[in-house]
């Protein structure tokens, strides 16, 4: 154990590479992309540090070219879930006994590997597997992931330093133990950073983990495991399995040693898992921790005093970057009639310049949506809007699945604030706008607050400070991440801790001390230096 109270390196946000046309950094990334595009990668599960291959090979295809397969992964079954749980539990005692500096060091090294030799590799894997352009890959799989790793180490030491006062003659301490048993991380397709953060934040706090990534994010998940191995993560601490989500959840959540769920994904899946945990509550050795960050229907609420260029730009960036596949993406906007035409024209002229295609060409701002299901879902919303009396497709509305799952940036205008695309999460490049009469500002704030079950992110645009204050108060519970005169996406670790409430999650703020608190179970220790030797208190005479 440690013989010093060491300080960890001061955490700072990883600088974002600009990837300007012709720069060395963009040449290097695109050449890595081209090389990896041609390779046929083979991805085994990693259980107890071993590569696990099965008879079932699942082809990997790219969203922007669904005829191009870049390899395959080995799919597992319930025997592999059992193996992963056993491997995690077998690794537990040694990992728990390791000093915190040793754990911190592994994850700090992983951050440096990602910032250096693995930067192009993890970015290219994210571009190929998840169809992110150079900028979207950089801010996710490089910078945000690195930030999670570094800031979590700093937050861990802040948490450990939180200690109680002691009366004279007594020394009180609090020790932050990992949870008893094993933890379960289930991660989404859309962020390599989130996918990496969920298992690593739990492991950093001394836990052992079974990790099931999304089958749409397996390429970058593999790179994450490669990095963790090179950083020195001991075998069995994080076990990565490729198994069916529902069946795996049923298996894992019925295990008596299940200790905590770290989930990010859709609301419905999380609610199903919470229910399973409730049904199994009598079987567990301890009450499991449940953390879930889920869906959103993120708003942009505009006051007539708002700056028009700022509103149009925030809507275009907020709604269409990464094809709207961010839980924080702007997907409903409320715009006053007096400025709507100007906002609309400006948005239309910006959207006209957007290029769509493969991330191999860095000038493409919009790439493909993740898969056929997502494509069909977007298409259906667009087709229904075209046919509806309540809605009009005013910008975009095109889609094309010949080569990849391409949906063009689309704006729907509706006269019904409860129209389906105004209240349901689509998770694609579709923004719906409700135009309100300027004098209905107050009642529209109510609509923003109450018309969806979600509460993830939201923005308010205004120059009038009284209007900002009014919206700030009226929308207190409408968003876990609230923006004033900025788009509702792009939260930065250490700056805007991320998460929402209501149907959007447990709001445990990924990449913060609040989140790490969920993966420890505190033990209070009171030591008395000179214990009493007689039961009689002074009041007994």
Residues classed as catalytic: 293, 327
Q: Is 45 in the site for ligand NAD (CB under 6 A)?
A: no
- Gap between the Cα atoms of 115 and 126, Å rounded: 15
Q: Which of 405, 329, 320 is nearest to 355 (CA)?
A: 320
Q: Is 137 in the site for ligand NAD (CB under 6 A)?
A: no
Q: Which of 299, 303, 330, 298 is nearest to 461 (CA)?
A: 303
In the complex, minimum distance from the CB of residue 73 to ligand NAD, in angstroms, rounded to a whole number: 13
Q: Is 490 in the site for ligand NAD (CB under 6 A)?
A: no
- Gap between the Cα atoms of 192 and 137, Å rounded: 9
Nearer to ligand NAD, 48 or 245 (CB): 245
Which of 63, 129, 199, 265 binds ligand NAD (CB under 6 A)? It is 265
- Gap between the Cα atoms of 301 and 82, Å rounded: 48
Helix axes 100-115, 218-231, angle to 10 degrees: 130
- Gap between the Cα atoms of 393 and 328, Å rounded: 22
Nearer to ligand NAD, 436 or 498 (CB): 498
Q: Is 321 in the site for ligand NAD (CB under 6 A)?
A: no
Residue 394 parent element (H or E):
strand 391-395
- Gap between the Cα atoms of 104 and 157, Å rounded: 9
Nearer to ligand NAD, 339 or 478 (CB): 478
Nearer to ligand NAD, 104 or 149 (CB): 149
- Gap between the Cα atoms of 335 and 420, Å rounded: 18
Which of 245, 357, 490, 494 binds ligand NAD (CB under 6 A)? It is 245
Which two structure tokens, joined as six digits, stand for 409?
Answer: 């940036």
Nearer to ligand NAD, 94 or 275 (CB): 275
Q: Is 273 in the site for ligand NAD (CB under 6 A)?
A: yes
Identify whether the C-beta of residue 379 lies closer than 8 Å to the C-beta of residue 399. yes
Residue 296 CA neighbour count, 13 Å, CB half = 33
What does residue 283 show for φ and ψ, rounded to 5 degrees? -90, -15
Size of the residue set binding ligand NAD (CB under 6 A): 33
Which of 505, 509, 511, 512 binds ligand NAD (CB under 6 A)? It is 505
In the complex, minimum distance from the CB of residue 263 to ligand NAD, in angstroms, rounded to a whole number: 7
Q: Which stretch binds ligand NAD (CB under 6 A): 8-16, 231-239, 290-298, 314-322?
A: 290-298
Q: Is 65 in the site for ligand NAD (CB under 6 A)?
A: no
Which of 212, 251, 289, 317 binds ligand NAD (CB under 6 A)? It is 212
What does residue 5 show for φ and ψ, rounded to 5 degrees? -100, 85
In the complex, minimum distance from the CB of residue 175 to ligand NAD, in angstroms, rounded to a whole number: 30
Q: Which stretch binds ligand NAD (CB under 6 A): 21-29, 57-65, 170-178, 206-214?
A: 206-214
Residue 109 parent element (H or E):
helix 100-115
Which of 63, 181, 295, 359 binds ligand NAD (CB under 6 A)? It is 295
Identify whether the C-beta of residue 185 lies closer than 8 Å to the C-beta of residue 217. no
- Gap between the Cα atoms of 259 and 184, Å rounded: 8
Q: Is 214 in the site for ligand NAD (CB under 6 A)?
A: yes
Nearer to ligand NAD, 234 or 265 (CB): 265
Q: Is 327 in the site for ligand NAD (CB under 6 A)?
A: yes
In the complex, minimum distance from the CB of residue 221 to ligand NAD, in angstroms, rounded to a whole number: 10
In the complex, minimum distance from the CB of residue 246 to ligand NAD, in angstroms, rounded to a whole number: 4
Identify whether the C-beta of residue 515 lies closer than 8 Å to the C-beta of residue 201. yes
Q: Is 189 in the site for ligand NAD (CB under 6 A)?
A: yes
Identify whether the C-beta of residue 460 lies closer than 8 Å to the C-beta of residue 488. no
- Gap between the Cα atoms of 131 and 100, Å rounded: 37
In the complex, minimum distance from the CB of residue 96 to ligand NAD, in angstroms, rounded to a whole number: 27
Residues in contact with ligand NAD by the rule CB under 6 A: 186-191, 194, 212-215, 245-246, 249, 264-266, 269, 272-273, 293-296, 327, 425, 427, 456, 498-500, 504-505
């Amino acid at each position: 154990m440690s013989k010093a109270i060491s300080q960890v390196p001061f955490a700072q946000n990883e600088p974002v590479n600009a990837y300007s046309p012709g720069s060395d950094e963009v040449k290097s990334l695109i050449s890595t992309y081209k090389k990896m595009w041609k390779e046929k990668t083979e991805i085994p599960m990693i259980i107890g540090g071993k590569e696990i291959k099965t008879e079932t090979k699942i082809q990997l295809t790219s969203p922007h070219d669904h005829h191009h397969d870049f390899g395959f992964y080995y799919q597992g079954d319930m025997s592999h879930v059992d193996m992963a749980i056993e491997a995690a539990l077998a690794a537990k005692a040694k990992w728990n006994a390791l000093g915190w500096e040793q754990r911190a060091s592994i994850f700090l090294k992983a951050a440096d590997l990602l910032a250096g030799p693995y930067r192009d590799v993890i970015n290219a894997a994210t571009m190929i597997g998840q169809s992110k352009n150079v900028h979207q890959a950089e801010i996710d799989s490089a910078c945000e992931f690195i930030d999670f790793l570094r800031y979590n180490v700093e937050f861990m030491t802040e948490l450990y330093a939180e200690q109680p006062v002691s009366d004279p003659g007594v020394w009180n301490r609090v020790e932050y133990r990992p949870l008893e048993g094993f933890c379960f991380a289930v991660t989404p397709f859309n962020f390599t950073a989130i996918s990496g953060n969920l298992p690593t934040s739990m492991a950093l706090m001394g836990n052992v983990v079974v990790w099931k990534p999304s089958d749409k994010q397996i390429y970058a998940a593999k790179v994450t495991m490669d990095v963790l191995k090179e950083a020195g993560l001991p075998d069995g601490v994080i076990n990565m399995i490729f198994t069916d989500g529902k069946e795996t959840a049923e298996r894992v959540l019925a295990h008596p040693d299940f200790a905590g769920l770290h989930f990010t994904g859709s609301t419905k899946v999380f609610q199903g898992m919470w229910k399973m945990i409730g049904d199994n509550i009598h079987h567990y050795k301890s009450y499991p921790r449940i953390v879930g960050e889920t869906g959103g229907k993120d708003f942009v609420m505009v006051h007539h005093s708002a700056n028009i260029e700022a509103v149009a730009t925030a809507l275009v960036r907020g709604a269409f970057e990464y094809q709207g596949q961010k839980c924080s993406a702007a997907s409903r906007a409320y715009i006053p009639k007096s400025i709507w035409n100007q906002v609309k024209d400006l948005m239309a002229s910006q959207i006209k310049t957007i290029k769509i295609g493969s991330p191999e060409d860095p000038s493409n701002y919009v790439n493909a949506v993740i898969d056929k299901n997502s494509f069909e879902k977007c298409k259906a919303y667009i087709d229904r809007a075209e046919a509806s009396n309540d809605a009009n497709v005013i910008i975009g509305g095109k889609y094309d699945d010949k080569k990849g799952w391409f949906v063009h940036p689309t704006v729907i205008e509706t006269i019904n604030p409860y129209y389906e695309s105004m209240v349901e999460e689509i998770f694609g490049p579709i923004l719906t706008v409700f135009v309100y009469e300027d004098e209905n500002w107050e009642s529209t704030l109510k609509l923003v607050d109450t018309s969806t079950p979600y509460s993830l992110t939201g923005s308010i645009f205004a120059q009038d400070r009284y209007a900002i204050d009014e919206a700030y108060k009226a929308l207190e519970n409408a968003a876990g991440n609230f923006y004033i005169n900025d788009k509702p996406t792009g939260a930065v670790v250490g700056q805007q801790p991320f998460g929402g409430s209501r149907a959007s999650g447990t709001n445990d703020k990924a990449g913060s001390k609040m989140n790490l608190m969920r993966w420890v179970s505190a033990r209070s220790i009171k030591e008395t230096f000179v214990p009493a030797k007689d039961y009689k208190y002074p009041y007994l005479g």
